[in-house]
Chains A and B, each alone.
Chain A
Amino acid sequence: MLCLGLAPSAIADERRVSIPHGTVELLSEQESIQPGRAILLGLHFLLEKDWHIYWINPGDSGEPPRLEWHLPAGLRAGAIEWPAPSRLPIPPLMDYGYAGEVLLPVPIEKTAGLAVGTETVLSADLKAIVCREVCIPAKAQLSLSLPVRAERPRESAATVAMFRAARKALPKPEPANWRPSAKDLGGSFEFAVNTGHSAPDAWFAPLEPLEIEDAAPQESVSTVAGVRLILKKSDQLLKPVSRLRGVLVLPSQGAYLIDAPVAPAPAKRPNKEQ
């Protein structure tokens, strides 16, 4: 769960839409919009204790929130930027998502054709599933109105702390010298990253479903050179995987986006060569 530093009452306004067991709203990091300059919006969920939504790979069950944008001509929204997820165990299953409060940043990448001096309305239809033991579908029509100004937008005082926290919660790009790699061991992957630190409580969440058994314990072999994890393959993985992409969570250091090439399983040699 993220602590974005503001009590729910401090950010309450009429934009907040009720969904089952919580509220959701569209926020802007900037207080105005300048034609030609990208801005950052955020989908802000506030859920009751233990209720959660899902990461881009929800794991064994659930579904990530989806947005359908309705924007003025000349504007284009980018994809949701996914903060590092929490593991949400529901034995014998494992899901990935966000419990309680989360801000999912979404850039408006293209902002052409806006007339200075007008107000622009950015709207989106949200579909999500909100779960605890049970799941309830959530739909919301969200919108945000921003003034169009010629000058460079200033950060909004009401949301700047939340966006700062949200940016920190995003997985960082992998440092160049980490050289992640994975080895196909048949029933599992040996996943290694030269982080330069031992991290016995590291864990990995793949971006793609059906690569690993999400609920299987990740045997961690921590060395001074970095992290080595044994990731059990999904029972339903039929084709070889050439790269393992996902988020490596180092609880004391943060989370990193990792893209590891997978070395194939050594081919079984015919008996006579052995």
Chain B
Amino acid sequence: MKRGFAYVVTLVLMALSATALAASVGEPAPNFTAIDSNGKAHTLAAFHGKFVVLEWHNQGCPYTQKHYNSGNMERLQKEWTQKGVVWLTVISSAPGTQGYVTAEQENDYLRRMNAAPTAALLDPNGDLGHLYSAKTTPHMFIVNPDGVLIYAGAIDDKPTSDPADITSSRNYVSLALNEAMSGKPVSTPTSRPYGCSVKYAH
């Protein structure tokens, strides 16, 4: 009960700070606490010292399916988590909308797709989505070890739903992580995110 109350307070604070603190590249990434599909709470600040990728997700969206059914997203998750990156998949679909899943449904999906995020955060109220102004699925954000947002935008430079376009695309997430890890400035810090609209509650 006490923990439930703390969780509610956190969500309320998160919702309040959303209006004051936009997630802007070059600025500290807004802190949050959210619950994953195994019931575990994750706080961004606790990942200080690590790169964190946020991936907005909706398993029914054709743009998400482009990257999952082709194995592209799962490959990226494995590659980068093996290099010590924290990869958080975020599901902000409201109950009754496309992409909304229960914890159990999400765990089934992760197993079935052989997906490998560090955690899948369930955000049915859209608090985390609003905090980061997540617009599309996918919409990708990268936070550096100092807690600064260093990338916000598309997963790559081919804004289509066609998996055939993946091989010829330039992956902005890998580009930014590679550059940042070798101490270089991120050459493409923002891009237009492409995909389905995040299915927030209206």
Residues of A within 8 A of B (CB): 60-63, 66, 90-93, 95, 127, 129, 131, 133-137, 209-210, 235-238
Contact partner of B197 (CB less than 8 A), chosen from A93, A137, A209, is A93
What is the number of residues of chain B that contact chain A, defined by CB distance less than 8 Å? 33
Cα distance, A63 to B159, chains bound together (Å): 7
A127→B160 contact, CB < 8 A = yes
**Count, A-B residue pairs, CB within 8 A:** 64
Q: Which residues of A contact B196 (CB under 8 A)?
A: 61, 131, 134-135
Q: Taking CB as reference atom, which chain B residue is nearest A88?
A: B197
B161→A129 contact, CB < 8 A = yes
Residues of B within 8 A of A (CB): 22-26, 60-63, 97-98, 130, 133, 135-136, 152-153, 159-162, 189-192, 194-200, 202
B60→A134 contact, CB < 8 A = yes
Supply 11 A–B pairs (Cβ within 8 Å), ascending by A.
A62-B197, A63-B194, A92-B200, A93-B135, A134-B60, A134-B61, A134-B196, A137-B161, A137-B162, A236-B152, A236-B190
Q: Which residues of A contact B62 (CB under 8 A)?
A: 129, 135-137
Cα distance, A95 to B192, chains bound together (Å): 13
Contact partner of A63 (CB less than 8 A), chosen from B61, B161, B199, B200, is B161
Q: Which residues of B contact A133 (CB under 8 A)?
A: 97-98, 199
Cα distance, A41 to B189, chains bound together (Å): 39
Known: A93-B197, A238-B26. 15 other contacts (CB 8 A): A60-B136, A60-B197, A61-B136, A62-B197, A63-B194, A95-B197, A127-B162, A134-B60, A135-B61, A135-B63, A135-B161, A136-B62, A137-B162, A209-B192, A235-B133
Cα distance, A66 to B160, chains bound together (Å): 10
Given contacts A63-B194, A134-B60, A137-B162, contact A235 B22 (CB under 8 A): yes
